[in-house]
Amino acid sequence: MTSLERPLPLPIVVVILSAISVAGFAFGLKNALLKTDHEAASTAPLAEVSGVPVREAAPVVAEVAPPPPVEAPKPKPVEEVEEAPVAAAPVVETPPAAPAEPEKKPEPPPQAPPQRIEDLY
């Protein structure tokens, strides 16, 4: 067995993975906090940002029409339904045939465990 086939000890693996995780989090946080010119917060009023001049940006009250009156649903007329005659269910006189029993195979004799490990190969 060469040294390349041996796994690293668990504490070393945990330290390496922790260092990679912390470094990735630090670089991601650093890049998230960097602001470029196009990502900087605007200081202009919101109306000017939307394209509407400030003097015309007065709120407009929308006129709301009252909802239309709700009509009560009309009851449906009751129709007389003729009852169909009940048909008698068919009678089964003979029970279904029982399936034939499958043939039983003889069980193989139990094998003795190998005496040496070389016998397994």
- State how far the Cα of 43 lies from the Cα of 49, in Å rounded to an integer: 9
Q: What is the mean pLDDT of residues 87-107?
A: 73
Band (45; pLDDT cuts 50, 70, 90)? low
48 pLDDT more than 60: no
Between CA 57 and CA 47 the distance in angstroms is 6
54 near 47, Cβ under 8 Å? yes
pLDDT tens digit sequence for 58-78? 666 667 778 888 888 887 877
Position 37 scores a pLDDT of 62
Helix, strand, coil % in the chain, rounded to nearest 5: 30, 0, 70
The gap between the terminal CA atoms of the chain, to the nearest Å, is 21
Residue-wise pLDDT for 4-20, tens only, equals: 677 889 999 999 999 99
The percentage of the chain sitting over the pLDDT mark of 70, rounded to a whole number, equals 68
pLDDT for 55 equals: 62
pLDDT on residue 80: 74
